[in-house]
Amino acid sequence: MKGKIAVIGGGIAGVQAASSLAKDWDTTLILGENHLPYYRMRIEEVIAGAEPESLYMHPAAWYEEKGIHLIHDRASSIDREGHSVVLEDGKKVPYDKLVITTGSNAFSFPLEGRTGNIFSLRTMDDALNLRTALLSADSFTVIGGGLLGLELAYSVSQSFHIPVSVIENGPYILSRQLDEDSARMLQESLERSGVKVFAGVSADHADDTLLYLSDGTSVPAAVICFSIGVRCEKTIAEDAGLVTDKGIVVNNGLCTSDPDILAAGDAVELDGRTFGLAMHAREMGMKAAAVINGDTTPYIPSEPSALLKVGGIDVASLGSMTGEKNVFEGSDSRVTVFVENGTVRGIVLINAKSVMAAARNAVGKGYDETVFRTV
């Protein structure tokens, strides 16, 4: 063995880093939740009734076989001089190299007039608590019309058959991923499946049954869930004196300001940018392990992509929505290609899976419209 590795956080980045390192390093994975590592992006299935265990990435035996020591306790601090992680129970986990993958936390704000039945959705326990509340609720409102909010709203309306509303303060839903026409197409589909969307208004205050909006109207909201974005979980790094800003600041080799400490996943900030997608967490977990094993090439994040299936419509958003819009329409499909100086910057596909592979390949390259004419 080359030495000791400690990884703080058992999300995708942490499990990826630990499993890539365990062959050559004595590896300990510190899990802050009372579950084995699970697929966070599927926790809505638990709201609909799935057992938590069905979302576990691997059974306990898998970690044993790989030689990964699991610790179920939160890390409370990092002793950088002593090269150890201090756990909440006071025990210490020594390291030669440490990887921080503490992820992010859901953001919310207080709603005047309401104390109970307000949730956010980030962890398995959040999903279990939300399910319990929904079992006796007669209405549900999601604050935030982004990807997670819409998927949650659709899934609750299908599983619980109660009135579901989405409040979006932007001009239309998914305004970061979609152009306005594509967003309207998706909104119509959502409304046909029973989810009411209120865009261009914000949540103001609430009582036990209603949520009052900035335009003076209200929606039924026995249970409310915030889905308005995440903030990097950087506390432990900040307390240890590492450089942080929006997230834990890393260089393109995923090293923090301490050369023996790397960071990966939602928790990091690289070149002023934070992430928030599973694909980047996985890539960074692998890269952090490679760097520890001697890789000196820079980490270059893949182009972000978002895939969503809501109310029977497939939506994919690749790259960024900047530049001139070129629209191709089929009978129930639509492709919007954003082109800047002859280069494809982003693509939105609605019910156009047939050109998905071509679209992935097209982002960042010269624009060739024949690729999209087949829609």
Ligand X SMILES: Cc1cc2nc3c(=O)[nH]c(=O)nc-3n(C[C@H](O)[C@H](O)[C@H](O)COP(=O)(O)OP(=O)(O)OC[C@H]3O[C@@H](n4cnc5c(N)ncnc54)[C@H](O)[C@@H]3O)c2cc1C
Which residue's CB is nearer to ligand X, number 122 or number 131?
Answer: 122
Q: In the bound complex, what is the minimum distance in angstroms from residue 210's beta carbon to ligand X?
A: 25
Sheet arrangement for strand 97-100: 68-72, 26-31, 4-8, 97-100, 261-263
Is-contact 278 11, C-beta < 8 A? Answer: no
Nearest approach, Cβ of residue 113 and ligand X (Å): 27
Q: What angle do CA 204, 207, 208 make, to 5 degrees?
A: 140
**Furthest C-alpha separation in the chain:** 65
Q: Residues near 293 by Cβ (< 8 Å), separated by ≥ 6?
A: 21, 24
The number of residues making up the chain comes to 375
Shortest CB 331 distance to ligand X, Å: 28
CA 234 to chain centre: 16
Pick between residue 122 and residue 323 the one whose CB is nearest to ligand X: 122
> Which C-beta is closer to ligand X: that of 93 or that of 321?
93
CB of 48 to ligand X, least distance (A): 12
Which whole-number Å values give the CA distances from 112 to 109, 116, 218, in the listed order?
Answer: 10, 11, 14
Residues that bind ligand X (CB under 6 A): 8-14, 30, 32-33, 40-41, 43-44, 74-75, 101-104, 121-122, 148, 233, 236, 265-267, 276-279, 281
Least separation, in Å, of the C-beta of 194 and ligand X? 20
Based on CB atoms, which residue is closest to ligand X, 40 or 83?
Answer: 40
Specify the residue, 13 or 222, whose C-beta has the smaller distance to ligand X: 13
Tell me the C-alpha distance between 121 and 48, whole Å: 13
